[in-house]
Amino acid sequence: MRITPDMLVKLYRLPLLEEAIEPLGEKEIVVRRAFPVEKRAVSKWVGEHFTDNWACEAENSFAANPPNIHIAVRGETILGFACYETTFRNYFGPTGVDESERRTGIGRALLLSGLYVLRDMGYRYAIIGYAGVPDYYEKAIGAVAIDNDPRSGSYGGMIV
């Protein structure tokens, strides 16, 4: 059984958000908080590109006011998403970028945009739950793995 760790992030040592967002503007990509009226479109997109569980989490992120989800768009096309404080308080994720748009900086911009909101909420640390690509998070933001037993960890017992 592959164990995917939770990861801990120091929110007081984040890279500059502007440095991640600015290069996307040249590609006509905007990273922003989703509008409440986009709930169906965003949840549908997440379900089509990722999993039903992630679509449920994305949908749940719209329960907050304002929604706890950021999206990357080019015009009216969704390219990626990032949720935070969706399943658990002070957790980041899930997050994902359209396969054809990966390695363009969108994922990093979405990651930082969500983490900056958690920092602005007063948290000093955040947890990335069940981090699928721990090496990426370690390199991008200095996250460190913490114990996560899939049977008893934060997602233990979840029906999938």
Predicted local confidence at residue 147, as pLDDT = 75
85: left (phi over 0), alpha (psi -120 to 50) or beta: left
Q: Are the C-beta atoms of 150 and 24 separated by less than 8 Å?
A: no
Predicted local confidence at residue 152, as pLDDT = 62
Predicted local confidence at residue 46, as pLDDT = 98
Number of alpha carbons in the 13 Å side-chain half-sphere of residue 14? 25
Tens-of-pLDDT digits for all 160 residues of the chain? 456 789 999 999 999 999 999 999 999 999 999 999 999 999 999 999 999 999 999 999 999 999 999 999 999 999 999 999 998 999 999 999 999 999 999 999 999 999 999 999 999 999 998 888 999 999 999 999 997 666 666 766 777 6
State how far the Cα of 86 lies from the Cα of 63, in Å rounded to an integer.
Answer: 9
CA angle, 6 as apex, 19 and 108 as ends, to 5°? 15
Predicted local confidence at residue 3, as pLDDT = 67
Predicted local confidence at residue 143, as pLDDT = 97
Predicted local confidence at residue 4, as pLDDT = 79
Predicted local confidence at residue 95, as pLDDT = 97
Q: Are the C-beta atoms of 53 and 33 separated by less than 8 Å?
A: no
Predicted local confidence at residue 132, as pLDDT = 87
Biggest distance spanned by C-alpha atoms of the chain: 45
What is the model's pTM? 0.93
